[in-house]
């Protein structure tokens, strides 16, 4: 969490507040004295490089490009538009599917048994089925693991779109969320050692983390966000 988030959150809750500069000074003073508060500050990472292997892409010609996606998705004026991606562990040690709703920034994370399209499709449907009425569109990158996109769209009764190649900014919400995940699960992590409980804990922390883009509310606090009730 950033110092500005802490400052604004205190103000939002009507608690005594200090400037974010003061917070930074205190944190770094704590570090000099051997403390570890600095580990709680957000660390910015460069976008991860993808492993560009080539795979057989049967049925890949049925992809719907992001240019055909309804314009309302870009406005974030409704709930139900999701972005999807995978986060890869050290030396391909495993992967996590990351799903995030564009308006609320509410996210879902789950460890995958493998990176096959069938495994990802099953996981995505399992995660989103309780929210089916709140799944209108899904947008992903062109990773081979999304090859079963038609199955996902059919089972969830949603429209599935693909961003343009090498255009991660078209899925900025997901990319930013993945950056937050990396604060709790660094790039050097061996995913084979990650427990499902740990990933669930990370997921809960992200959905209860104040966001500047949400007026320093958390994804769980966004007005008219019914996702929490639907999955509990």
Looking at residues 177-197, what average pLDDT do you find?
95
pLDDT the model gives residue 33 = 74
Q: For 59-85, give the DSSP string.
A: TGGGPPBGGGS-THHHHT-SS-EEEEE
What ranges do the domains of the chain cover? 3-40, 60-231
What single DSSP character describes residue 54? -
Q: Which residue, among 65, 75, 55, 42, has the nearest Cα to 182 in the 3D structure?
A: 42
| CB contact at 8 A, 98 and 191 | no
> Mean pLDDT for the chain?
86
**pLDDT higher for 176 or 23?**
176
Residue that has been written with the tokens 């890869």 in this structure: 88
Report percent pLDDT > 90 for the chain: 65
Looking at residues 169-185, what average pLDDT do you find?
95
> Does the pLDDT value for residue 159 go beyond 80?
yes
Phi, psi of 134, deg, nearest 5: -110, 25
pLDDT the model gives residue 60 = 66
pLDDT digits (tens, 9 = 90+) for 76-106: 999 999 999 999 999 888 999 999 999 999 9
Does domain 60-231 fall under CATH 3.30.420.10? My reply is: yes
Could you tell me the pTM of the whole model? 0.75
pLDDT the model gives residue 20 = 63
pLDDT the model gives residue 218 = 97
pLDDT digits (tens, 9 = 90+) for 9-49: 877 888 776 666 667 767 767 777 777 777 776 643 333 34
Lowest mean pLDDT among 31-35, 188-192, 195-199: 31-35
* H helix runs in 68-215, sequence order: 72-75, 117-128, 149-156, 172-184, 196-207
Report percent pLDDT > 70 for the chain: 83
């Amino acid at each position: 969490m950033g110092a500005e988030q802490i400052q604004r959150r205190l103000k939002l809750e009507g608690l005594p507040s200090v400037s974010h500069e003061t917070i930074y000074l205190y944190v770094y003073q704590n570090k000099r004295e051997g403390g570890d508060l600095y580990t709680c500050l957000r660390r910015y990472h460069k976008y991860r490089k993808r492993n560009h292997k080539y795979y057989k892409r049967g049925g890949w010609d049925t992809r719907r490009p992001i240019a055909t996606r309804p314009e309302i998705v870009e406005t974030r004026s409704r709930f139900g538009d999701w972005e999807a991606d995978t986060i890869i562990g050290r030396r391909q040690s495993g992967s996590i599917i990351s799903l995030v709703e564009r308006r609320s920034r509410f996210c879902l994370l789950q460890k995958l048994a493998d990176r096959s399209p069938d495994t990802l499709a099953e996981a995505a449907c399992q995660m989103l089925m309780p929210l089916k009425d709140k799944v209108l569109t899904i947008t992903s990158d062109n990773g081979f693991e999304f090859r079963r996109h038609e199955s996902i769209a059919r089972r969830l009764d949603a429209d599935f779109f693909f961003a343009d190649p090498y255009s991660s900014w078209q899925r900025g919400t997901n990319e930013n969320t993945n950056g937050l995940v990396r604060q709790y699960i660094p790039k050097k992590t061996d995913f084979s050692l990650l427990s499902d409980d740990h990933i669930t804990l990370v997921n809960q922390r992200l959905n209860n983390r104040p966001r500047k883009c949400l007026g320093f509310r958390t994804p769980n606090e966004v007005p008219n966000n019914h996702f929490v009730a639907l999955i509990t």
